[in-house]
Structure 1
Amino acid sequence: MRRRTLFGGVGAAALTTLAGASPAGAVAPVDMGAHLERLMLAPTRAAAPLTLAQATADVTAAAIAYRSARYGAVAAALPDLLAGLHATAAHSTGRVRDSTAGLLAHAYQLASNVATKHGDDAIALTMADRARTEAAASGDPLMLTAATHILAITMRRDGHHAAALELLTGTAQQLEIDKLDPAIVAAYGNLLCTAAYTSAQAGSQSTAVAYLLEAKAAAAHMDGHHIPASALPFSATTVAMYQISVHTALGNTGAALKHAAAVNPALLPTPERHGRYLVDTARAWAGHGRADKAAHAVLAAYRHAPEEVNRASVRDLVTTLLYSPSPTPAALRDLASRIGVG
């Protein structure tokens, strides 16, 4: 496919408290699986309608908590929040119904992201599909783009690389990037970054690099432009982070580590992004044969975003590092005990 080129309730109250809290510290045990299963039943659960103001505040609180890497709190609050949003939608018409659909789309995107963090790809895909349905009902093209982006990620994780790539590139082509609206350019850049990683996982280095170059050009346009807080963050730092994961997926760990070294951690916008950056760097070091460096990166990730480390895929990485033939820090064993591996 041709690539378009232009540039070179109660739970919610708890979330409001958690949203501003520091991510550092011990991870409280949360039955993520049970909460995720409750997400599936949200449209049919009895709930009182929310006012539009309360619904907006609750979804915003959930988004802040997610960006703060408080995945357990988000998973605990979303089932009730989604049920309340569906009740609101059922009792609304006109613009209020459209706005509620947008809030449902955003909440379902968060649900998909949390399910992905937990490693439940089946629920993540279902939540992403619901997000796209609600986004289409909202009439908001940027919300539809964001939901489509999440859906493509879940498709890729389910092994459908070609279909995910077609969805990503097709959506990017439909954006009116000629207007140079910062929110649209940011959406375009994020789509291309994900397309690059999808291509890398499919083993296509040339395509992955081409998408990264286009994303880098889009990021250059973002200098000095404000992106709405509701939009997915995008900047040159975003592209640099994807350079790490793309080159690691391609087996070019030396290149991945060069890009990791070039990232300024102070520019990472959220604890979730900081944790992801450190985990991606750990994967690159592990692939490069430096278990010691990988362990230090994982330990740093735990300090910044504990719940980012307490994920199935990262626990697998910790297990691999523990049994590496090369020495690793003693603190890794303590971390392994905290997250239940080893």
Structure 2
Amino acid sequence: MKRRVFLTGAAAVGLTAATGSPGQLDPILLASSTSAAPWVADRTALAMDAVNSSYTSAKYAAVAEQLPPLLSALHNAHRQATGEQRTKLARMLARAYGLGSSLATKYGDDAVALTLADRGLTAAKETGHPVTITAATHILAITMRRDGHHGGALQLLSTAADQLDADHAQPAADVIGAYGSLLCTAAYTAAQSGDRATTDTYMKEAARAAARIDGTAGHGILPFNSSTVSVYGVGVYTALGETGIALKHAASVESPQLPTTERHARFLVDTARAWNHHGRPDRAAHALLAADASAPEEVDRPAVRELISTLLYAPCPTPAGLRALATRIGVE
């Protein structure tokens, strides 16, 4: 990217440890100081796979239950390990904290999300692995944006993208995918601050990155392809108030390219928001019901519950299933 978009006024952001977090997240915050019997390597790897699978399947209560013992075991093993094994454990710590931060974001606890993201980046930097560091940086930038630090988040994303140097030589597909993911998040961050020109620049460059690797980098730490760009386009242009463009992006998404249940359900929720802002609460309700059919825990979280509450009082008819959904999750 090499500063195709010049960012000014980006302030350094101090990270403050969260205290008094909701009960489900407290054990994740405290896991690093919890003593636990050592786990054999196979058990740790299986547990890491299990918690990752729970998150990508949108089973967030399971993630909240699985993460604390895994983090405790990883920390205890990491303290004692050396060499290659210590690096491997640091990569797992970075991924585990990334999942914890994303979970806290789902639960609407931005302070905890920021703290866990910072811990994840600390672990990632120890590995020296570019994509691992990028993934952790990506999560931290999201938490900064949600905390209102748009300039700082953009600076972090821009710097990380430059360091990948994806414009030169012939980088691996996962490097280009990581680069594209950073650009998508940068576009959404710019949109949140109302900067249309910067948003368009990042979106166009993300589309170019996707064109370089389509069909080769749909999975991994940072899944990325052309449908990833389209999914971000839904949220980006909704944030800018241009819902017609947002819905064109939604129509271009190829569902088979969305690699996980969580990603697909999040796309449906974003599409529901676009339809609602477009003046079609009935279409928004149908999108939410589709999300609920595959990922009930995705719709039973604070931000989506608020949207459901809004749709219940829409001035036009909405599907009967919306009232049933609202009743099931306790939305009035």
Q: TM-score, normalised by structure 1?
A: 0.89
Name the structure 1 match of 2:175: 184
Name the structure 1 match of 2:315: 325
- Is there any run of 5+ residues in structure 2 with no aligned partner, and where? 6-20
Alpha-carbon distance between aligned partners in 1 of 2:165 and 2:43, rounded to the nearest angstrom:
32
More divergent stretch after superposition (246-255 vs 49-58):
49-58
Alpha-carbon distance between aligned partners in 2 of 1:312 and 1:51, rounded to the nearest angstrom:
38
Name the structure 2 match of 1:14: none
Contact 1:4 1:172 in 2 (8 A): no
Alpha-carbon distance between aligned partners in 2 of 1:237 and 1:302, rounded to the nearest angstrom:
21
Any idea what the Cα deviations from partners look like across 1:68-122, whole Å, max 9, x if unmatched? 1111101111011101111111221111111111111110000000110111101
Q: What does residue range 78-93 of structure 1 map to in structure 2 within 5 Å?
A: 78-93=67-82
Name the structure 2 match of 1:293: 283
Name the structure 2 match of 1:28: none
Any idea what the Cα deviations from partners look like across 1:258-283, whole Å, max 9, x if unmatched? 11112122322111011011100000
Runs of 4+ off more than 3 Å: none
Deviation at 1:226, TM superposition (A): 4.5
1:201 aligns with 2:192: yes
Contact 1:142 1:184 in 2 (8 A): yes
> In the alignment, residue 252 of structure 1 is paired with which amino acid?
E
Any idea what the Cα deviations from partners look like across 1:189-237, whole Å, max 9, x if unmatched? 000000000000000011111100000000001124246x542110000
- Is there any run of 5+ residues in structure 1 with no aligned partner, and where? 6-31
1:336 aligns with 2:309: no
1:3 aligns with 2:3: yes
1:35 aligns with 2:35: no
1:305 aligns with 2:295: yes
Any idea what the Cα deviations from partners look like across 1:155-198, whole Å, max 9, x if unmatched? 00000000000000110001031232101000000000000000
2:23 counterpart SS class: helix
Q: TM-score, normalised by structure 2?
A: 0.92
1:159 counterpart SS class: coil
1:41 counterpart SS class: helix
2:25 counterpart SS class: helix
Deviation at 1:50, TM superposition (A): 2.1
Q: What does residue range 14-163 of structure 1 map to in structure 2 within 5 Å?
A: 33-163=22-152
RMSD of aligned residue pairs (Cα, Å): 1.6
Aligned-residue sequence identity (percent) comes to: 54
Q: What does residue range 183-262 of structure 1 map to in structure 2 within 5 Å?
A: 183-226=174-217, 229-262=219-252
More divergent stretch after superposition (86-95 vs 46-55):
46-55
> In the alignment, residue 292 of structure 2 is paired with which amino acid?
Y
Alpha-carbon distance between aligned partners in 1 of 2:125 and 2:257, rounded to the nearest angstrom:
33
> In the alignment, residue 191 of structure 1 is paired with which amino acid?
L
